[in-house]
Amino acid sequence: MVNGTTLVTDHANGILHQCSECHSDNAIGAPGKTGVESLSLAMHNFHKDKMTTTTIAANTTPTCYNCHPGPNTQCMRGIMEKAGKTCIDCHGDMNKITSSLQGGRQAWLQEPKCGDCHDSKHQENTNTLYRNSILNNSTSWSMNGKIYCEACHNGTHSEFITANSADPTIPQKFQGDNYWIWNCQVCHASRVWGGRTMHQ
């Protein structure tokens, strides 16, 4: 009603709509309608000055955890969180997210980069998200382009060491610890790797 839609009336009549019918959403590849803000922009822009006033916001991680991914899900459980970093340290607050989207950033497709804080040896591939980035500076050229960063460091927001005991199944199995895959010899013969680290 506030925005001139029939959503409330439709809902009362049992007609449900997906947000992506009107709002573009890169997370699911929905194009949305021309002239309508993307779902990410609409949500962040509308709520940017409202979230910290709610009770649930005061009792959880303010702003972000009310929606991403909800106050009961431990998404921030990796080494970044252990080092005291929050959602805002990488993504910015809701005002910054809103302004970046208004400036043309594509939600879900253009995200914070490891290389923004870490050195060039530990950055994503050019124009590529962390989850799709692959090793390209190995001490052994034969490994370049053949292993994802996540294979050794784990997924976004749950980078080793994590607070969830279920995360480090692979390092526990092969290395006997909860760290990122640092020991190449768990998979490769020592004559090949000689105890070297993966990155140059």
pLDDT, tens digit, 9 for 90 and up, residues 23-38 = 999 999 999 999 999 9
**Residue-level pLDDT at 39:** 97
Rounded Cα distance between 178 and 200, Å, is 23
Q: Do residues 88 and 148 share a domain?
A: no
| Domain tally, the chain | 2
The model carries a pTM of 0.80
Q: Do residues 54 and 117 share a domain?
A: no
Q: Do residues 52 and 108 share a domain?
A: yes
Given 112, 143, 159, the domain boundary residue is 112
Considering only residues 156 and 73, tell me which one the structure prediction assigns the higher pLDDT.
Answer: 156
**Residue-level pLDDT at 184:** 78
Domain containing 81 equals 1-112
**Residue-level pLDDT at 28:** 96
Given 86, 112, 138, the domain boundary residue is 112
Q: Do residues 102 and 51 share a domain?
A: yes
Q: State the Cα angle at 124 between 120 and 128, rounded to 5°.
A: 145
Given 94, 112, 130, the domain boundary residue is 112
Reported as a pLDDT band with limits 50, 70 and 90, residue 49 is confident
Q: Rounded to whole angstroms, what are the CA distances from 140 to 10, 78, 174?
A: 61, 28, 21
Q: What percent of the chain has pLDDT over 70?
A: 86
DSSP conformation class of 187: T
Q: Per residue in 53-87, pLDDT tens?
A: 666 555 556 678 778 887 677 788 899 988 988 88
Residue 134: strand, helix, or coil: strand
Q: Do residues 46 and 117 share a domain?
A: no
Q: Do residues 103 and 118 share a domain?
A: no
Q: Do residues 190 and 162 share a domain?
A: yes
Residue 27: strand, helix, or coil: coil
